[in-house]
Amino acid sequence: MTILVTGGCGYIGAHTIVDLLENGYDVICVDNNSRSATRLLEGAEKIAGRKVMNYKTDLCDFEATRKIFEQHPVEGIIHFAAFKAVDESVREPLLYFQNNLISQINMLRCAEEYKVHHFVFSSSCSVYGNADVIPVTEETPLKKAESPYGRTKQIGEDMISDLAKVSAGRFILLRYFNPVGAHPSAIIGEVPFGKPSNLVPAITQFAAGKLPFLKVYGTDYDTRDGSCIRDFVHVCDIAHAHTLAMDYLAKNNNGTNCEILNLGTGNGVTVLEAIHAFEKVTGKKLDYTMAERRTGDVVAVYANNDKARKLLGWSPRYGLEDMMRTAWEWELVLDGR
């Protein structure tokens, strides 16, 4: 089965390509490299021992996107390609609406035109906003998104939900919580675009001396230590869920043609607890500073993952210390140590 992976040169995309290849799938990658480079794809090929056809195509260009489908018999799509920095989306909302939504529309149009009936969408826990009750389940009512990025994911889910009502295709929407860590080989990991906006690459870059400071945004949240609560999940666990989702779609197991699944460990971890976990596994003391809340951040969110466990047979294999250890080992590779 040939799977088209959009954004395959990115962090989660590259790890997913490894998992797909190791489980017998053929992969075609498309990535315009506006927020990535080919390094991670090349690393994925090295780990899996297989080459991957890669198209440097802007998915906002519909005709250029169609040409890929004209050249290859694509049987499944995993759609990662999107801008994802919460703080940048607050500053430049139109950029996010244009890039994330138009590219998704074009992929769905091609899926319909070329009868690609297996579609996995990269969504986010940001769709929940500041949920009234946690852990959140897939039935938890969605609140107002706290950022334009989160809103593009809400709209993206609605787009697929509406299409599924009239489509012969089958769709799975995977709501990621906070992907972190790196492949245990340290051949691929997260490469932030510019200054990191996510916690773990900020931690590792600060520890490596690449950042002058490490800020914890928010000291007065209603949590056990005043910092935000997140559900950190290893990127390899996230990647494997996509392979399982494609397996599930290929077997025609789903009773509905549009399933939504949470991908999180089910454990809420505060920002300060994450920092302390890094300090424990590396032996490095971090002289972080406390700062005011950051616009776009939710207070707390973590997952109920029962549905993913039941439908896909998915369960996280890596703990928080594994996440921090592999992230640091990858940072040392990037730093040339």
Phi and psi torsions of 271, nearest 5°? -60, -40
- Measured distance CA(186)–CA(232) in Å, rounded: 19
Q: Which of 11, 25, 149, 302 is catalytic?
A: 149
For the record, the structure tokens of 333 come out as 């590779």
Q: Specify which residues 30 forms β-bridges with.
A: 6, 55
Residue showing tokens 């690459």? 201
For the record, the structure tokens of 168 come out as 């012969």
CB contact at 8 A, 218 and 300: no
- Measured distance CA(247)–CA(244) in Å, rounded: 5
- Measured distance CA(196)–CA(330) in Å, rounded: 15
Residue 149 falls in the annotated catalytic set: yes
For the record, the structure tokens of 263 come out as 């991908």
- Measured distance CA(234)–CA(324) in Å, rounded: 9
- Measured distance CA(301)–CA(307) in Å, rounded: 17
CB contact at 8 A, 221 and 134: no
- Measured distance CA(77)–CA(245) in Å, rounded: 11
Residues acting as catalytic residues: 149
